A and B are shown apart, each in its own frame.
Chain A
Amino acid sequence: MKKIFLLIILAGLSLPGFTQRTKSVGLRAGVNVSDITRTVFTARTAFYAGLAGEMRMTGLYALQLELGYSQQGALGNVEDERSVNRHFSDSGIRTEYFTAGVMNKFSIHRKFSLLAGASVEQELSGNPFLSRTLDAGVILGAEYQFLPGFGLEVRAKRGLFDIFENSAYTTGEYTGNLLMGSQSNLVLQAGLVYYFKERK
């Protein structure tokens, strides 16, 4: 009995050294179609690019850390008078975000994975029409590996915060609640992923 107990402890201690956690580095890039919810603006088409670090825990599950650049926003005429008699006008809310995210990847098939995760996003361009520069998002998506290393991905990302507060450009009743009824980033992403093979 004692021996079995000790064996279990031994096995437990040595486990971290034997689990084959395979890591890989990926590059992602593609097209963004973005909008700001509950406004009269129309969608903006732009691009995103980023770096991904995949840590595969089991055949079914991998954790993926991501850093990226994402052009978002919406199109439409905006005008505003700001604090000290300054006038701004633009043909859209053209924002640039730096994103840092964590994705859970469920590989339900050898070539096909479902993605669910979250990201923290920092606006970089200093756009005067935004009410805040820091955003957080929830992401759902899918990835299809059509060649070894190459993948196609589709994602939907929803910002959690009200980033545009001017009620002149909204439709519907404004509630200002988190998630429900706020004017938030909404982005559809479609693109390519490439995972580098580590040479031993």
Chain B
Amino acid sequence: MKKHYLAGLLLFLFAGSYAQVSIRPGVRAGANYSQITRTYYDPRTDFYFGVLGEIKFNNTFFLQPEIGFSRQGARGDVYRLPESGEEKVWARKNIESNYVTWGVTGKLAFSRAVRILFGISAERSVEGPEAVKPLRSGGDFCALAGAEYKFPFGLGIEFRIKRGTFDMIDSRDYETFSSRRSWWSGDRNLNLVMQAGVNYTIPTAP
């Protein structure tokens, strides 16, 4: 009998630390300030939006799966490198690549309001390969870091920086900074996006 009692107590204590897990749905939207690293293009300002589920494990750790749409790219004249001769060839104006994104963000809360965010995402361009032409790939994997300020009524203000991992432009075909072609050198043309926006999750009942 005593054993049962102890086992029950154990179970109760064990369950107690996990029973608080809750999932709250939410939305997020804001402005994108995107560029492609190691190119002469100017940044593009546009927007992103998405839906999310905020899984609260305890007062410190949250896990947030996300699905979203993000308008990225860069602005300016795109030049193709000549095969021979002196003059570079104007190819097009502006790179507009718009992505559907699937991501998971981990959030560490250092007070009731302030969270620091780290996450990863997989992204797929919705345009065909011709529409994003200087870009060589329609897909990307990204890593992100950021911060969030969350009000008690569910509204949040957030800032993120997201960096891609795939080389987006073939530097043999298009004009970029001079490139050594290795992962180690880091000398690649990647998506780099700064995001500033708001989110809203349905607050838990008191």
Contacts and interface: CB of A to CB of B under 8 A. Distances in A.
Given A84-B88, A126-B35, A161-B186, A25 B111 contact: yes
Interface string B71-113: 0000000010100001010000000000000000000111110
Contacts of B6: 6
Interface in A61-84: 65, 67, 82-84
B39 A126 contact: yes
A10 B10 CA distance: 7
Given A83-B177, A98-B145, A133-B190, 15 more contacts: A10-B10, A16-B17, A17-B17, A25-B110, A51-B114, A55-B110, A83-B178, A85-B88, A100-B145, A122-B163, A122-B192, A123-B37, A128-B40, A132-B186, A198-B111
Interface majority SS on A: helix, strand, loop or mixed? mixed
Interface in B147-199: 147, 161, 163, 175-178, 180, 185-187, 190, 192, 194
A180 interface: no
Contacts of B17: 13, 16-17
A120 to B, nearest CB: 8
28 contacts: A6-B10, A9-B10, A10-B13, A13-B17, A17-B17, A24-B110, A25-B111, A51-B116, A51-B147, A53-B108, A65-B108, A67-B147, A83-B81, A83-B175, A84-B81, A84-B88, A85-B88, A122-B163, A124-B194, A126-B38, A128-B177, A132-B185, A132-B186, A133-B38, A133-B190, A134-B163, A161-B186, A196-B111
B192 A124 contact: yes
B39 A53 contact: no
B114 A82 contact: no
Contacts of A94: none
Interface of B: 6, 9-10, 13-14, 16-17, 35, 37-40, 60, 79, 81, 86, 88, 108-112, 114, 116, 118, 145-147, 161, 163, 175-178, 180, 185-187, 190, 192, 194
A161 B183 CA distance: 13
Contact of A82 (B14, B37, B178): B178
B58 to A, nearest CB: 9
Contacts of B145: 67, 98, 100
A110 interface: no
A175 interface: no
A74 to B, nearest CB: 19
A13 B10 contact: yes
B185 A131 contact: yes
A10 B9 contact: yes
B187 A132 contact: yes
A54 B110 contact: yes
A23 interface: yes
B111 A84 contact: no
A66 to B, nearest CB: 8
Contacts of B37: 123, 126, 133
Contacts of B14: 13
Nearest to B118: A100
A53 B175 contact: no
